[in-house]
Amino acid sequence: MTTLIDLAGYLAAEQAADEAVKDVVATVAAACVQISRVVASGAISGSLGAAGVVNVQDEEQKKLDIITNDILRDALKGCAAVAGLASEELEEIETTGRQGGFLVTFDPLDGSSNIDVNVSVGTIFSILPAPAGRTPTEADFLQPGRGQAAAGYAVYGPQTMLVLTLSTGVVAFTLDASGAWLLTHGQVAIPADTAEFAINMSNQRHWAEPVRRYIDGCLQGKAGPRGKNFNMRWVASMVADVHRILMRGGIFLYPWDSREPDKPGKLRLLYEANPMSLIVERAGGKATTDGQAAILDIQATKLHQRVPVVLGSANEVAQVGAG
Ligand code: AHM
Ligand code: MG
């Protein structure tokens, strides 16, 4: 059996990446090992179920949302290269008392609705440059995703995996029984074509016309305008749905819908859409709001801003844009 290199070995060999970014990545990765253990322990540790509180998103927090948020927050506060952090579970940014280095935004446990039924969930993170010589403010977090210094996610599924982009390319590690991240996927590339889409069909009546037309074309299969049969998958954990697309292609849509006009989409820009978009683009895919406009070019205006998301296999995302 060949020996796989671990995360520390990979980071040491990555000459192009900043040493401080590597520290942040190593810190997040270590926190994800802890998170994977608490997630895996489920009912044994009494960590399933609702916490009985509502977060800044007006969503009921699960106990694990709070536990995992605390794990990441504590880890990042202890990391010398981190000046500030923002989380899906925290109303406001937090600073660490340090200046310069990096800001980290994260969704500590994405796919919360799946926790209690033992379906894959994950942690998503984005690392941004912090301002030099002063304490960061909320405005410093509102950067276009194109400027991310690194991004990644951990998926807690049949295998626990860490997917990462530093300066170029996308790599993936698998967690072994000893708690080491081993490099199992040296270069992740999303096929340009696909016949598999992921969308919550129950929202169909709320979609805009181009998305309706696109999905309708897929549903018509071989006899329809696309001339081929499509398959559909929807885990309802963005990490799991995007991970499948990274591994075998596909398109993921959480599009604009008419339910809440002041919340254009469900997913959050700074700690869900931006990090996933950097990973998807670096793996050769496209990440847009509507099949055309790149998510990474959006100038954020609010910490918990929501955006429509259409990402995945490049030619398929372009089909949505053409509609
Ligand atoms: P969360 O961060 O509160 O878990 O919400 C985000 C999740 C995504 O992982 C997933 O793509 C989406 O919400 C599923 O939404 P729905 O329940 O509408 O299918
Ligand atoms: Mg989420």
Binned at pLDDT 50, 70 and 90, residue 263 comes out as confident
Q: What is the pLDDT of residues 14-24, one digit of tens each?
A: 998 899 999 99
Asked whether residue 241 carries a pLDDT value surpassing 70, the answer given is: yes
Q: How far apart are CA 242 and CA 278, in angstroms?
A: 12
* Residue 2 within any structural domain of the chain: no
Q: Does residue 171 sit in the same domain as residue 286?
A: no
pLDDT (average), residues 270-291: 98
Which among 121, 237, 244 is the best mutation to test ligand 1's pocket, defined by most ligand atoms within 8 Å of the CB?
Answer: 237
Q: How far apart are CA 175 and CA 154, in angstroms?
A: 10
Which among 115, 203, 266, 306 is the best mutation to test ligand 1's pocket, defined by most ligand atoms within 8 Å of the CB?
Answer: 266
Q: What is the CATH number of the domain that holds 261?
A: 3.40.190.80
Contacts of 276 (CB under 8 A, 6+ apart): 124, 151, 153, 238, 242, 287, 309, 311
Asked whether residue 261 carries a pLDDT value surpassing 90, the answer given is: no
* Residue 211 within any structural domain of the chain: yes
pLDDT (average), residues 72-94: 97
What is the rounded average pLDDT for all residues in the chain?
95
Q: Does residue 175 sit in the same domain as residue 242?
A: no
* Residue 1 within any structural domain of the chain: no
Alpha carbon separation from 80 to 20, 95, 102, 182, 322 (Å, rounded): 8, 12, 10, 25, 46
Ligand 1 binding residues, C-beta < 6 A: 59, 88, 107, 110-113, 200, 236-238, 254, 266
Q: Does residue 164 sit in the same domain as residue 215?
A: no
Q: Does residue 179 sit in the same domain as residue 221?
A: no
Q: Measured in angstroms, how far is the CA atom of residue 317 from the centroid of ligand 2?
A: 22
Composition of the chain by helix, strand, coil, percent to 5: 35, 25, 40
Task: Look up the pTM and report it.
Answer: 0.96
pLDDT (average), residues 101-128: 96
Q: Does residue 232 sit in the same domain as residue 128?
A: no
pLDDT (average), residues 48-66: 81
Q: What is the CATH number of the domain that holds 33?
A: 3.30.540.10
Asked whether residue 303 carries a pLDDT value surpassing 70, the answer given is: yes
What percentage of the chain carries pLDDT values higher than 90? 86
pLDDT (average), residues 166-176: 96
pLDDT (average), residues 203-226: 97
| CB neighbourhood size of 251 (10 A) | 28
Q: What is the pLDDT of residues 120-150, one digit of tens each?
A: 999 999 999 999 999 999 999 999 999 999 9
* Residue 219 within any structural domain of the chain: yes
* Residue 190 within any structural domain of the chain: no
Which among 113, 237, 252, 270 is the best mutation to test ligand 1's pocket, defined by most ligand atoms within 8 Å of the CB?
Answer: 113
What local confidence, expressed as pLDDT, does residue 60 receive? 78
* Residue 60 within any structural domain of the chain: yes
Phi, psi of 66 (to 5 degrees): -75, -45
Asked whether residue 105 carries a pLDDT value surpassing 70, the answer given is: yes
pLDDT (average), residues 57-61: 76
CB 4 within 8 A of CB 183: yes
Q: Does residue 214 sit in the same domain as residue 175?
A: no
Domain ends where: 164, 185, 206? 185
CB 103 within 8 A of CB 128: yes
User: Which atom of ligand 1 has the smallest separation from the CA of 112?
Assistant: 4
Q: Does residue 38 sit in the same domain as residue 174?
A: yes
Q: Does residue 275 sit in the same domain as residue 206?
A: yes
Q: What is the pLDDT of residues 84-93, one digit of tens each?
A: 999 999 999 9
Asked whether residue 107 carries a pLDDT value surpassing 80, the answer given is: yes
Q: Measured in angstroms, how far is the CA atom of residue 20 from the centroid of ligand 2?
A: 26
- By DSSP bridging, strand 102-110 and strand 121-129 are antiparallel
Domain ends where: 121, 151, 185? 185
Q: Does residue 29 sit in the same domain as residue 153?
A: yes
What local confidence, expressed as pLDDT, does residue 1 receive? 66
Alpha carbon separation from 128 to 102, 254, 313 (Å, rounded): 6, 24, 26
Query: Could you say which ligand is closest to the alpha carbon of residue 61?
Result: 1
* Residue 95 within any structural domain of the chain: yes
Domain ends where: 148, 163, 185? 185
Q: Does residue 36 sit in the same domain as residue 85?
A: yes
* Residue 305 within any structural domain of the chain: yes
Q: Measured in angstroms, how far is the CA atom of residue 106 from the centroid of ligand 2?
A: 9
pLDDT (average), residues 30-40: 97
Q: Work out how many domains the chain is built from and give that number.
A: 2
Residue 14 belongs to domain spanning: 7-185
Asked whether residue 163 carries a pLDDT value surpassing 80, the answer given is: yes
Q: Does residue 228 sit in the same domain as residue 119?
A: no
CA pseudo-torsion sign 296, 35, 250, 7:
positive
Q: Does residue 29 sit in the same domain as residue 142?
A: yes
Q: What is the pLDDT of residues 151-162, one digit of tens each?
A: 999 999 999 999
